[in-house]
Amino acid sequence: MAMRAIRGAITLDQDEREHLYSRTKELVTGIMEANSLSTDDVVSVIFTCTPDIVSDFPAAAARELGFGAVPLMCAQEMAVPGALPLVVRVMMHAELDTPRDQIQHIYLRGAAQLRRDLAQ
């Protein structure tokens, strides 16, 4: 098995706790399903949010999906002028046999414009 990093992002419509949780769960579940992962395969997860998201931590939503034993970290994305607002990004590290070029990176909703080459 190899350690792989899986990227993804999703946009929010508003900075509200339950909405953040819902969208974070949508993103994490999408990554897990697309790459046939279980939480036992996941080594760690780093979430970032744009500076306009302050209602809660995306990691708290992941814990509700069963990631309680997985190391999770949240950080603030750089405040680049003109950047897409209300974005949650993720980098998930997992152990899997999938070759690097076959990893399914997931960019949902408005975040699809961040990586048009990878968007679902």
Contact of 95 with 1, CB cutoff 8 Å: yes
HSE of 62, CA atoms in CB hemisphere, 13 A: 28
For residues 73 and 31, the answer to whether their CB atoms sit within 8 Å is no
> Is 99 strand, coil or helix?
coil
Alpha carbon of 110 to those of 11, 15, 61, 101: distances in Å? 5, 15, 20, 24
What phi and psi, each to the nearest 5 degrees, are found at residue 73? -140, 140
Q: Name the residues annotated as catalytic.
A: 7, 63, 74, 77, 89, 107, 115
